[in-house]
Each structure stands twice: as structure tokens, then as C-alpha cells.
Amino acid sequence: MSWARRAALWTGLGALLCISGAAVGQAPSVRASFSAAYRAFRDPGLLDRAPALAPTADACPPPAGDAPPALTALLVHEFQPAADEDLEDPDGAVLATLAMPDLDVPLTRRTMRFVRFFAQSDEGRALFQRRFRRAGAYREIIERSLREAGLPEDLLWVAAIESGFDPRAVSPAGAAGLWQFMPRTGEAYGLEQSEWIDARMGITRATDAATAHLRDLYERFGRWDLALAAYNLGHDGVLRALSKVAAARDPEARGPVGLAELSQAGAIPKETADYVPQIVAFAIVAANRGRFGLDLPDVAPLPPLDLGEVAVPPGTRLRTIARAAGISTAVLREHNPELLRDRVPPGRVDHLISLPADRVARAMALFPAYLDHEELDEDEGDGASAGLPQRAAIGELALDGASLPPRPVSLGRNRLPLFTPPGQAPAPMPLLGNPEALDARLPIVMIGGGVGFRPAFEDDPLGIRSGRLVPASPFDDVGGPSARRALKGREAAIEKQIGLLAGVGQEQVQRFRLPNGIAVDFREDPAAPLVSISAAVAVPARSASDAGAAGPALASEARVAITVPPRDLDVGIDLVAARLRMLLGEASDARVAELRRQASAASRGALERAPYGPSWLALGDALFPTGHPLEGTLIGARGDAGAASELLLTESLRRERAAAQATIALSGDVSRAAVEQALARSLQRAVEGPERPIGPHPREERIVIEDAVPAPRLLYGWIAPPEGGADEAPLRVAMEILVSPRVARLAKALVAEGQLASEVTGRLSLGAQASVAAVELTPAPSRSAAELEQRLDAELASLATSGPTWKELALAKALLKLDLERELTRRATVAPPPASPRPITDLRLRAALDPGSLPRLLRALEEVEPADVRAVVARTFGRERRVSVTTWPRGGSGGSAVATAAPPTLPPLAPPQQP
């Protein structure tokens, strides 16, 4: 055959096919048949034992044109009440012999098709056994939540169809967790979703949220088939389907519209039409496992999770919690699948972590120690049916007496908008002559219709005063077409009324501080049945640089919590405030002063007996008298290894129990004004105000002591900036320049050059709130104390104005850095413990309590400039801010006498007297 003849033949065949396709497109019956055939191809189950029967008399015909006739007949047949033959039992058993679930859902032939799938097909049996086995881990938790909410416990099997009991399941549409919450629904039920946590994947909280959502849906729809369909499709989707079927329904038709009618009409997606039958079928098979040969010992359910909870600080690493509990991190993640990272979320409040119940006590005992020493890395059912309520008839929905028990207080308010499903309300007209109508309860809100008198409020377009607007809900579609039509042309009136509502709901959590420094986190939650009140006193982050991603934000926390009804807000706040006052009272000025004296008692006794020791005691008592925030401070006590640790812990207790570290959190159906009033009344007493920084000594003060010493001595002391602050490094450099024997600026001026003193020493006693800088001078024989003091003032003034020389500055920084680098090298060296323990120095203690403090100090020393030294000397070493103590020799070895108000100018010093 030639090429031309072949081309003509193919051209003719192509034209014939095009004409045939056009003819098919013009014939509706042909299109419908192709459509039905295609759907049957996608779902072969539609043709399994499904003869094309005409709708029965009690079935509602679907709206015309919604589905092909062949498919419509199949759907009508599938959602008819189940019959005994649908069980397909080889022994001829009937449906009445099955244990039925406690869900009032009509039993349809579609449901029995899924029963046969789970019970008879190999694929279905494997799927059932796999999901039933996984259900064992969560069954007790879910059934307890359902039971406490007054819901049927067979709702447990919703999770079997939703996720297969996999808490980490995520659908292509974005649903997540055991209960497959969509993001918007999860947010409405308080399930946090962030880069750190997705509470939809949690176990206990997500289960409680699903329980509340199921209860809300049932309370709105009044029947479980529609409530479960709304769980899958959304309540608004079911409402649209009900409206569609109700509009196309025969006006003479009576009775409520159920899932079967919606499915037969094709008003809901196939997924939703199959969803409820799958749940009921799974529940039937689970209740009759022995009957279907699925009660096999090799597929026993997983052991139930026995969960306990502990509160941990925000930002805590999971490995720290796991080590404290004695479990692996993998086990910890299994109990907390909602955590998305290697640590709990950061924030201001603690986080509840689920643990095996038998590990809670160990975790609570060991967690503080593990947290304090954590390295701060820079990276890193049996089918029994006894007692179940019996159904009135197979396939019939029992509406009489099907209402739930009273709503538990723990569920809060219903979060769905108030509505009456279309087609479910009683008919309005046939009330006359119907005695039962006298007891009928009319719906509060009717969707559609617009029947009855409604007063018009032209200045109330949002319906706030008229009550015409459904209360706001997390599910409201404010951008829907019906909303736009209702508000069209009324923009000016709407803007006016919105102006009255400006500021409402702008911030979920409001933070404010009380006059005494206590922070208050308040959240107004109208849906909460109880007011939650908690108080926490937390240790602040170690530093701005160490509180980032590498370490926990808090080191420890003391917490108290209580829940009360809104009417008892003042009682709850009084109880929490009393406990908070006790916590803060542990670090009151008087209590901390007592602890300081106890910690330094041995050192104080040694100073009382040592030569010139009473002068140091007198200096400390003068700088920090009774009533001072640092009362009881002993200068130089941290040089004593026995007292240093206790003193450092005492100062840390003061920081931990400061009012500024306290937070009160309240959430509930109360107003901020009521909260502020109750807090002001409960916390106005016995709680100190915010801690003020310690300032310099308010005046010049002179003290004279007579003691059994060989020679007179002058001691000068100033209150200096605290350790850890911006001035610590310049202060250290200044003292190194002034009194260190390696730089010795004062020794050169007063001893070598001026010959006014025979010895110059000094001490920098660092503290968390304030430090003490002290200079001790031993006058040269026959030299005037006034002359010596005048030369000291001149040297200090010179350093404050001219600053150090570059040589002095470089030498002082090098010497200080050498000591720090030596300590850091010791800490970084991995070696067995020495035979004899090293002495506990101030640097070792500081590094142990705050591992990042020494590297920070080293970096700060690198950056010290002459201007920094000048500034800190000018602010600290002023004559008008110092205390001077002069110790005079006294014959004999008796006790010492202290005299205040000594003359401002001292007489010339006499040579030492021999006893």
C-alpha cells in the first residue's frame, strides 16, 4: 500500500472517531452511563452485591441531576437499613446475635459491607488487627476521657479510622495526631501549634480536645451520625448538605434528615459517607472479635500507657529529662509525640512533660541535679457486650431519651456557634390538634427561612443589641458569600459600631506588673468553666549570652497552682498570694542576713581573735548596717572555703526569691479589673517591692578602734559594683593597678617615693549585689595620718582623671587573664581526681555555679580601656563615700574597743608601744 493511501485511511479513521465522540457528548444518557461506569471502576465495591433497585417508599429521593440514575440507585440501596442476609454468616446467624456498639447510629448495608471487609477479607483483617493492637496503648486514656465527658466509649474507634492510633500521623490536607485535628480546629480547642510543639500530636491533651469537640458536635446536631459526619467534613459542610437536602425535600416529608439521606442524595463527599459506616463497622468487629475469629493471642493489644506528668522549665533539653527519669530519649518522645525539637518550648512558664508513671518520683528527685549540671553545648478490648444499652430495632435511630448527661464542667463552654440543623426542627404548622406539640421545644436560632417578626435596628448592623447575630465562633467564615450579602451597603454603620468594639480581643495574654515588681500574666477565657491561678518563683537565666539555645532558661522553679470557680476569684488569689508570700519570705532581708551570719560565723570568730581583725568587722558593719539589704555581709568571707559555698548559695537564694522573679498567671472567665482589685488587696502586705540596686555608702564615716596590735593601721573601704556586671572587669583592673604587689601603684607612691607608709595592701571582695574595695595602710613611723590620707586621695584622684598608663593597664590585664586562663585550663582538662583535693577557691565556686562566667569575664578583660578604668575609679573611690577605720595599739592583750565619731583629722602617729 502506497504512502498516500495509508495517509488517506488514517485520516478517515480519525474523522470517524471525532464524529463518534461528538455524538456521545450530545447524548445525556450516554454521558451518565460513562460516568457511572467510571465511578464503578474507581470503586469496585459499588457493584458488589448491589442490584439496581428502585428507591423504597421510606427513602428520600435525591435532588434531580446530582448523580447518574445508576449510581443513585446503588447509593439508595447501600444506605438502606441492614438486613440479616447482609451479615453473610455461613451458619445463618442474624444481626440480633451481634454485640452492638453504644453509638446510636442507624445500621445500614454500607456499614455491613465494611464489617465484612474487616472480618472476612485478608487485607481488612490485617488492617483491623494492626489498629486494634495499637489501640491497647491509648485505650484506657481515651475511654477515661470519654467516660468523664458522658460520651459513648465506642467513640474510641474514631481514632482507629482517623489515624490508626498513630499520634504522629499527618494527612495530605494537614490534619495531625491521633484525632487528625486540622490546624484551625486544633487552635479553637487550645492545641498549641508552633515550630516547637504541635499539641495536636499529643496524647492526653489532644484526646481531651477531641472529646470536647465530639461533645460540642453532638449537642448541636442532636444525633451521632451527623455529629461524626461533621467531625470529618466540618460542621459547616454538614449544615450546607442539610440545607441542600431540606430544600429539595418533599414538603410533605416528615422526620429528621440523617446521614443515610445525605449520602443517598450525594450531598456529602464519598469520604464522609463512608467515614461513619467505617467507625460503626470497626466498633462492631471489635465487640465481636471472637465471633469473627480475630481474638488471636499473637495479636494481643499493646500494654496501656500509664502516664504521669512533671513540670520542667522552658527550654529544657529532652535528654536532661530522660536522664533524670532513667529512660531513653526515644521512650520520652513516644510519651510526648507533640514535641518537635530536642527541647521543650521556650517561654515564661513551665511545660508539662508526660513520663511513665513509675518514673515520675525518680525524675522529680533527680531532675534539679541533672539540670544544674547539664553541659551548655553550643549545638545540640475484649468484645464483651454485657451492660451495653440495647437498641430498639436494628437500623432505627433511637432519639427518645438519647440526650447526654449534664455537660461536665471540665469541658468548658461549647465552642461551636449556636444553630439548629436544617430538617431537624419540628414542623411549624401541624401543631394544632397534636398534643405532643405542647411539649415541643422550639429552636433558639433557625438557619434559613426568615420566618417571624424581627425588629429592625438600623444602627445595629452587627446584631449585637438585637441578638440576631450568632455568637462568634472560631469556625465562623467571616468572608463567606452570605456574610458579604448581609453587610453590603451598610459599611458606614458597621464602621461606627466596630469603633465601639476597638481593642477587644487584641491580645490573648496580657502581661502587667504590680507595684512590688511581681509580673502578672492574664488571659480572659469566656469558655473556661474555672479560673486557673498559679504562682511561680523562678531563677532567672544565668546571663544574656548563656540563656540562648544552648541552655535552659531557668535553673529551678517553685510553683503553686489552684483552680476555683469565677465567683471565688478572691479566695483563690488569697490562697495563692499566701503561698507566694511564704516563698518570697524565704529570702527577706532579715532572713538572708541571718543566713549570712550563720555561714560566716567561723570566719567572724577567727577575725575577732586575729590582729587587726576587728577593724575588718567594723568596716563591714559600717558599710552594711542593720536594715541594709546586705546586712550581715562579712568582707573577705568568700576567701574561706568552708563559708564561700554557703554564702554564694545564700546570695543565689535571694535572687531566686526576689519579687521580680515571681509570676502570677490567671486564666478564666473573669475581667482584668476584678483580677487587679483582688491582687492589690491580697499582695499589698508582706511582699517587698522590686529590689533596688545597691548604691555607694551615703556619707564619709570614721571609726577608731583600740586593740592589742603592734602598730597603728588605717583601713579604707568603699561599696563597689557587683560581680557579673559591666563594671566588674574595669574594677578588677583598677584594684590590680592600685594594690597588687605586681603593679603596686599605691605602694610606689606611698612607700617607695613618699615614704609615708611602710606597707600597702588591699582587697576586692566581690558580691552578687555589691562588692567592697578596701585599702589597708601601715603608716611609717612618725608620719602624720592626715598626710598619708591626703597622698592616698591624690593618687586616687589622679587615676580617676588621668587613668592608668598603658604599661600599667597591659600588665594588670595580663596578670588577671593569666589567673583566669589557668582556672579554665584546669576545668577543660579531662583527668582523674588528684590524690589531694585542690582548694576551693572563689573562681572554682563561681565557675561551678555559672560555667559561662569565667569565659565572659575573660572576654570583658580583653576589652577594658583606660577610659573604663577612669570611670569606675571616679564612681567608686570618692572620699565622701568611704568608711575609714583606724586601729590604735593598746597596752595589754585585752579586748578591743570601737569608737565612732572620731575627729576628722588624726594626730601624728606615735611609734609602737611595747607591752
Q: Catalytic residues, which ones?
A: 162
With CA atoms as reference, report the closest residue to 711 among 912, 914, 890.
912
Q: Please report where in the chains the cell 568568700 appears, as a residue.
A: 638
Alpha-carbon span 860 to 864, nearest angstrom: 7
Cα angle 695, 697, 703; round to 5: 160
DSSP designation for 92: -
Which residue's C-alpha cell is 571609726?
Answer: 703
Contact predicate 627/589, CB 8 Å: yes
Which one, of 221, 213, 217, lies nearest residue 178 by Cα? 213
Residue 424: partners with Cβ closer than 8 Å, 6 or more residues away:
221, 222, 223, 242, 256, 257
**Alpha-carbon span 55 to 62, nearest angstrom:** 10
Letter for the amino acid at 58?
D
What is the SS3 assignment for 642-656? HHHHHHHHHHHHHHH
Beta bridge partners of 706: 888, 897
User: Which residues is 509 bridged to in the sheet?
Assistant: 523
Q: What is the 3-state secondary structure (H, E, C) of 443-476?
A: CCCCCCCCCCCCCCCCCCCCCCCCCCCCCCCCCC
Question: Are 179 and 186 within 8 A, CB to CB?
Answer: no
- Reference 716, options 553, 499, 882; nearest CA is 882
Pick the closest to residue 748 from 805, 710, 693, 676 (CA basis).
Answer: 805
* Residue whose C-alpha is closest to residue 47's, from 67, 73, 65, 28: 73
DSSP state of 124: H
109/79 Cα distance (integer angstroms): 6
Q: Are 267 and 444 in contact (CB under 8 A)?
A: no
Detail the DSSP E strand segments found in 701-742: 701-707, 713-720
Cell (9 digits) for 55:
428507591
Spatial distance between the Cα atoms of 84 and 393, rounded to a whole number of angstroms: 13
H helical segments located in 234-317: 235-248, 259-264, 270-287
- Taking each helix axis as running N to C, give the angle between helix 641-656 and helix 601-609, from 0 to 180 degrees, rounded to the nearest 10: 130
- List Cα–Cα distances, 45 to 42, 71, 79, 161, 283, in angstroms: 9, 12, 14, 19, 21
Neighbouring C-beta atoms of residue 704, cutoff 10 Å: 19
Cα–Cα dist 821/856, whole Å: 12
Q: What are phi and psi of 774, to 5 degrees?
A: -130, 140
Q: Are 767 and 633 in contact (CB under 8 A)?
A: yes
Separation CA 578–CA 558 (nearest Å):
14
Please tell me the distance from the alpha carbon of residue 878 to that of residue 884, in angstroms, as a whole number: 12
The closest alpha carbon to 497, from 466, 541, 520, 452, belongs to 466
User: Parallel, antiparallel, or unpaired for β 701-707 and 557-564?
Assistant: unpaired
3-class secondary-structure state, position 715: strand
CB 535 within 8 A of CB 514: no
Task: Spell out the SS3 assignment of 177-209.
Answer: CCCCECHHHHHHCCCCECCCEEHHHCCHHHHHH
- The DSSP letter of residue 913 is P
